[in-house]
Amino acid sequence: MKKGKKIYEGKAKIVFATSDKNLVIQHFKDDATAFNNQKKDVIDGKGILNNRISEHILTNLNQVGIKNHLIKRLNMREQLVQHVEIIPIEFIVRNIATGSLTKRLGIEDGTVLEYPLVEYCLKNDELGDPLISKEHILAFKWMDDFEIDFVNNELARINDFLQGMFRGVGIKLVDFKVEFGRLEKNGKKDIILADEISPDTCRLWDATTDKKLDKDRFRKDLGNLVEGYQEVARRLDILHEQSNIRPLKYSKPKAVKFKKK
């Protein structure tokens, strides 16, 4: 599939057209940003890891019936994906209180929530991705009731699957952010999962030590970001390719006992 002109560039990815109008190439950059783009850096190898981890997760989600835009990974930095119309909302699922939630509401960091909390944010960098309600979504016709219910059901299924996947390798899924898009097919528009699922978009803590293995390492200067992402990839047993990423010493974690909620 020949790569065409650039049609979109975000903070972490570039999207290129292809000879097929229904398909685009998604390129993962090494750029790291935080605090609404106020903190920036370029971290060698980050894009390679996000590409590989996201491909693994989206492939597994597709196998359990959660449709998403991934067609296949093309190389170390790029994926072939379906061209969708992105819904301008970020969907956040929280299992443990941390980050902006604790700051807004004064909740103790690390509080395990009785049930997953779903939040909606308007996807707008200039406005700082503000928190919005279901009523805002309906009032401004970003989605209708049926679409919101569908996405909420998909979020619950994604959360269950990801929690199980990460729990099996000794990682807590603290929270995650996803995006959905509309895919036009046979004169009808379906909603499918899009963008990426990676340590850039999830908070992932070691199940025994609460060591951060996600972008909080960059946000809070907690250590080498690539080493955290690489540990996630190694635990998922997907880091087999030669790359310019320096190998990280790793031993498989011992079995972890989880307390019932």
Predicted confidence (pLDDT) per residue in 146-197, tens digit: 999 999 999 999 999 999 999 999 999 999 999 999 998 888 899 999 999 9
DSSP string, 124-153: -GGGT--EE-HHHHHHTTSS-HHHHHHHHH
Give the confidence band of 241 by pLDDT, cuts at 50, 70, 90. Answer: low
CATH code of 58's domain: 3.30.200.20
Residue 259 belongs to a domain = no
Q: How far apart are CA 230 and CA 225, in angstroms?
A: 9
Q: List, for residues 183-240, the tens digit of each pLDDT value.
A: 988 888 999 999 999 999 999 999 999 999 999 999 999 999 999 999 999 999 997 6
Q: What is the pLDDT of residues 116-125, one digit of tens each?
A: 999 999 999 9
- Count of structural domains within the chain: 2
Q: How confident is the model at residue 22 (pLDDT cuts 50, 70, 90)?
A: very high
Residue range of the domain that includes 64: 3-84
Tokens of 75: 């190389």
What CATH number should be reported for the domain holding residue 182? 3.30.470.20
Are residues 75 and 141 located together in one domain of the fold?
no
Which pLDDT score is estimated for 254? 45
pLDDT grade for 37, boundaries at 50, 70 and 90 = confident
Provide the β-strand partners of residue 108: none
Q: Is residue 233 domain-resident?
A: no
Q: So what's the pLDDT on residue 187?
A: 83
**What is the distance between the alpha carbons of residues 49 and 228, in angstroms, rounded to a whole number?**
10
Q: Classify burial at 150, counting beta carbons within 10 Å of its beta carbon; exposed 0-12, middle 13-18, buried 19 or more.
A: middle
Residue 234: what pLDDT? 97
CA dist 255 → 55, 134, 170, 261 (Å): 26, 40, 7, 19
How does residue 127 score in pLDDT terms, banded at 50, 70 and 90? very high
Identify whether residues 176 and 79 lie together within a single domain: no
pLDDT of 10 > 50? The answer is yes
Q: Are 213 and 199 in contact (CB under 8 A)?
A: yes
Same domain, 143 and 212: yes
Helix 46-63 to helix 225-235 angle (10° resolution) is: 30
Q: Does residue 245 fall inside a structural domain? A: no
Are 103 and 15 part of one and the same domain?
no
Tell me, what's the pLDDT at 240?
A: 65
List, for residues 39-70, the tens digit of each pLDDT value: 999 999 999 999 999 999 999 999 999 999 99
